[in-house]
């Protein structure tokens, strides 16, 4: 542990204990002395140089430009006596979504919808300000312990501005080359092509699928796995047999709008994504108005702000008591004959629709990008 108990940092924060540690730094819980509130302090290793230090500084700058309830807020930035830079952030009394998912496995669809709507809201704020996350995954999404869960996006260390010049982008990413976590990366990222906003949307689809099924779709997890699949077809993702069927609009959103291999065939933007989520909520028999609420707030905000200021302010939504019992939820779905669909795209495929996620379409696209 770098800091001792009650050690004062930057002359205004008193360290309580360590929260997490990694190869490049640590995160500590501390108290802001003047305001008597808890904060989190993220510290980079003192010997970190070049690319890692630039990314850390860039992360602080990106966080400072974003003010949104579904994004972790930055409070302060400074450099310690040993030359270690640190970011002081709001403390979220919760844990990463990845930890929550490993404990709970698959989530009921209405709970997954509640979580992913907030993720979409935070991602929309990021994209509205012309930033790409490039490493969206459950471990970079924080979720509060209390219910209804409040969600915040975190870790913008490899994020970049969409209007960044090629020279600046190259200086930061040259050594890393493969930027992100392979299991959540889009095909274009895995092949070293430039990431775009639709790359984040692909990662969003992977996470949504994982929340609903408890496992990742049949997606390449590293470069060796990707090369093996270059000579075979990607297997179509399927839902475990023990799972109850899912609402049709959710499976169509994931398979047809978020996970096509070609970026141009994915949903066009986070704004369009929020519209789709609103439609899912509006047509639910249980009256879930989570995403509808978010979308209406976005429209109201856009009427009163400039494009640079526009973002979504999501208020936590308390589900009605009728949705808290998963068995009752499934029974109600069956009673109302709610449209269901399996997450196997080959079973869902409309003969008039040419899109086929995860099949030969993916293979053909990958082959064209081998070189």
- For the annotated catalytic residues, the residue numbers are 135
Can you state the percent helix, strand and coil of the chain, rounding each to 5?
40, 15, 45
DSSP secondary structure, 254-313, as one string: IIIII--SSGGGS-S-HHHHHHHHHHHHHT-TT---HHHHHHHHHHHHHHHS-TTT----
Cα within 13 Å of Cα(320), Cβ side: 9
Q: How many beta carbons lie within 10 A of that of residue 141, not counting itself? A: 24
Contact 114, 317 (CB under 8 A): yes
Joined together, the tokens standing for residue 192 give 């070293």
96 phi, psi to nearest 5 deg: -65, 145
DSSP secondary structure, 107-159, as one string: --HHHHHHHHHHHHHHHHHHHHTTEE-S---GGGEEEESSSSPPEEE---TT-
Contact 275, 295 (CB under 8 A): yes
């Amino acid at each position: 542990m770098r800091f001792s108990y009650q050690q004062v940092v930057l002359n205004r924060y008193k360290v309580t204990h360590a929260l997490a540690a990694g190869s490049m730094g640590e995160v500590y819980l501390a108290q802001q002395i003047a305001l008597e509130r808890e904060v989190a302090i993220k510290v980079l290793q003192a010997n970190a140089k070049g690319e890692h230090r630039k990314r850390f500084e860039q992360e602080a700058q990106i966080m400072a430009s974003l003010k949104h309830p579904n994004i972790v807020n930055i409070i302060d930035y400074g450099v310690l006596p040993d030359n270690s830079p640190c970011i002081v952030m709001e403390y979220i009394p919760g844990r990463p979504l990845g930890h929550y998912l490993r404990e709970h496995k698959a989530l009921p669809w209405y709970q997954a919808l509640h979580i992913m709507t907030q993720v979409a809201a935070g991602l929309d704020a990021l994209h509205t300000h012309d930033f790409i996350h490039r490493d969206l995954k459950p471990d970079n999404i924080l979720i509060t312990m209390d219910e209804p869960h409040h969600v915040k996006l975190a870790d913008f260390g490899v994020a970049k501005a969409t209007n960044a010049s090629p020279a600046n982008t190259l200086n930061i990413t040259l050594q890393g080359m493969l930027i992100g976590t392979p299991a959540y990366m889009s095909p274009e990222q895995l092949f070293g092509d430039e990431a775009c906003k639709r790359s984040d949307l692909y990662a969003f689809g992977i996470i949504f699928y994982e929340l609903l099924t408890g496992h990742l779709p049949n997606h390449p997890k590293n470069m060796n796995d990707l090369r093996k699949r270059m000579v075979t077809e990607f297997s179509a993702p399927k839902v475990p047999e023990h799972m109850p069927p899912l609402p049709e609009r959710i499976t169509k959103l994931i398979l047809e709008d978020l996970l096509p291999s070609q970026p141009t065939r994915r949903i066009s933007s986070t704004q369009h994504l929020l519209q789709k989520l609103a439609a899912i909520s509006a047509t639910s028999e249980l009256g879930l108005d989570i995403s509808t609420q978010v979308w209406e707030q976005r429209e109201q905000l856009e009427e009163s702000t400039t494009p640079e200021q526009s973002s979504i302010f999501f208020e936590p939504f308390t589900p009605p008591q009728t949705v808290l019992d998963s068995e009752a939820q499934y029974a109600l779905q069956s009673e109302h004959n709610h449209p269901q669909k399996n997450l196997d795209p080959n079973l869902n495929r409309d003969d008039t629709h040419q899109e086929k996620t995860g099949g030969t379409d993916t293979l053909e696209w990958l082959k064209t990008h081998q070189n």
